[in-house]
Amino acid sequence: MGLASFVGAAVTTVIGIVSLNLFVLGAASTGAFVVPVGKKKKQSRLQAQSEIWDLSTQPLPGFYHKFFEGADGVNLHYVEGGDTSPGAPLVIFVHGFPDSWFVWHHQLSAPILQQRAHLIAVDLPGYGGSDSFPRASATAILTSIANFIVAQKEKKTSETCILVTHDWGSIVGFRLASEAGFLFTRCIILNGLHPSLALENATRATSSASRMLQTYIRHPTNFTLIRSAFRSLKPLLTQLKCSYYISVFLLPRPLARQLYKMGDFWFLRLLSRVSRFPNEEAFLASSFGPSKSEAEGYPAAILARQNVNKRADDKIAYYRDNLAFGKWRKPENIQLATAEFETNSGFTGLLEQKPGSFKCPVTIIYGAKDTAFHRRFCFEGLEEYLLPSKGKTGKSYLVCFPRGGHWTMVPSPGRESIEMLVESELDGLDGEDMKEKVWAVDKDVKFEIEK
């Protein structure tokens, strides 16, 4: 380990320990460690788990539990409904931390989407009812989800495939859109950052500040250089402040688990309130996955996840195992499909301005009240990554929901706005026609970038 890596790890550990203690104090102040879990709450939680995960019943009206066994032997759980005929367009939803397929139940239940499309919501590996990997590496997760999408598309005669993602699902979405964009007609990406763009912005900020500080050493009376260096670093520092909780998940595993499980899942209940989820016990049940009584028929990992430490490990693995920045060693089928797509589309490497540029149209959505992301750091320079549109269709967008927080798809009017974006893509609407549909639901939605 180099000196810079050692210092970085030491700083992260210190911040993580301080942050964990602050969370412990926050939980203690609410009585989370001393107030017992009542019988009524336990029954409500188990009932919610049964409604979401019982394989013998419909998880939502008209939807069914399904399983996909990948070539790697990892089984993914998903629910599907709507128009499942071969000719129906495909819409696939991918959740983030700490959720499961159920976080999309508003969109899945939308009558217009059910009538128009084949709707699928899949549990990420290690979450919900899906199997686990020993490590949540980029190769393991991206290959698993890519092969799942390929398998679903092979059942269809329709060319339309829309991916809708959130949080860690959006990290997956960003990477698939830039590294396997042939899979989709559009990616709608909620509340996440593009790893390549984030890395570029962080590198630019630190490099600029470093040059200014080196100049300051030679001219110690020029305090303007200090102020300029701080201005360069401010977006990065603000994002680090927004992301401080991640440092807890990077602590040694026994400590990293505590934030997830302490005080009768105080942190999850806090997230439930932040998300404005209508039912706290349903939010927890969605995150927990099937209980022991529902485990039959699910992958063996579900029984292992009855141990809360194992469940926590699977979820925080996405933070620990470099899914965002790790190299994706694509399997042969994805490599061949990528090469065929690039040949047929006339793509050459000379046309790609930056590594990580998108290969399909994207609609990137963020909530103005999302405390997990800093707008300038996450999206400055985004235009250079967007796929140029062809005429009036296939445009890409950065969209702000002014009243939205981190879970933009849960409360109104965000959830209806997302339904309108999906419906517009199904209708082949773009540009002003698409905007009008969204503005009919929420006139304050801002389309900040259009390319």
In a shared domain, residues 93 and 107: yes
How far is CA 419 from each of CA 60, 64, 81, 95, 402, rounded to the nearest angstrom? 17, 21, 16, 16, 17
218 in the same domain as 178: no
Q: How far apart are CA 69 and CA 331, in angstroms?
A: 16
Same domain, 177 and 97: yes
The reported pLDDT for the residue numbered 407 is 98
Please work out, in degrees rounded to the nearest 5, the angle formed at the alpha carbon of residue 361 by the alpha carbons of 161 and 368.
105
Nearest 10 degrees: Cα torsion 198, 140, 174, 302: -110
Q: List per-block mean pLDDT (blocks of 10 residues) for the chain, which spans 451 residues.
A: 69 93 95 86 90 97 96 94 97 98 98 97 98 95 97 96 98 97 96 96 91 84 84 93 95 96 95 94 96 94 96 97 96 90 64 81 97 94 92 90 97 97 96 96 97 93
**How many Cβ atoms sit within 10 Å of the Cβ of residue 228?**
18
**Shared-domain flag, residues 226 and 374:** no
CATH number of the domain residue 403 falls in: 3.40.50.1820
What six digits make up the tokens of 437? 């549909």
Q: What percent of the chain has pLDDT over 90?
A: 82
Q: Does 382 lie in the same domain as 438? A: yes
Q: What is the pLDDT of residues 383-416, one digit of tens each?
A: 999 998 877 779 999 999 999 999 999 999 999 9
Q: Do 316 and 126 touch, CB atoms closer than 8 A? A: no
**Secondary structure class of 49 (helix, strand, coil):** helix
DSSP string spanning 109-162?
Answer: T-HHHHHHSEEEEEPPTTSTTS---SS--HHHHHHHHHHHHHHHHTT-S---EE
Regarding whether 238 and 215 lie in a shared domain, the answer is yes
Same-domain pairing of 172 and 222: no
Say if residue 219 is in the same domain as residue 337: no
Q: Among residues 439, 448, 440, 418, which one has the least CA distance to residue 112? A: 418
Q: Which pLDDT tens digit goes with each residue over 249-267? A: 999 999 999 999 999 999 9
Same domain, 378 and 403: yes
If asked whether residues 314 and 206 sit together in one domain, one would say no
- For the chain, the domain total comes to 2
Structural domain of residue 210, as residue ranges? 198-242
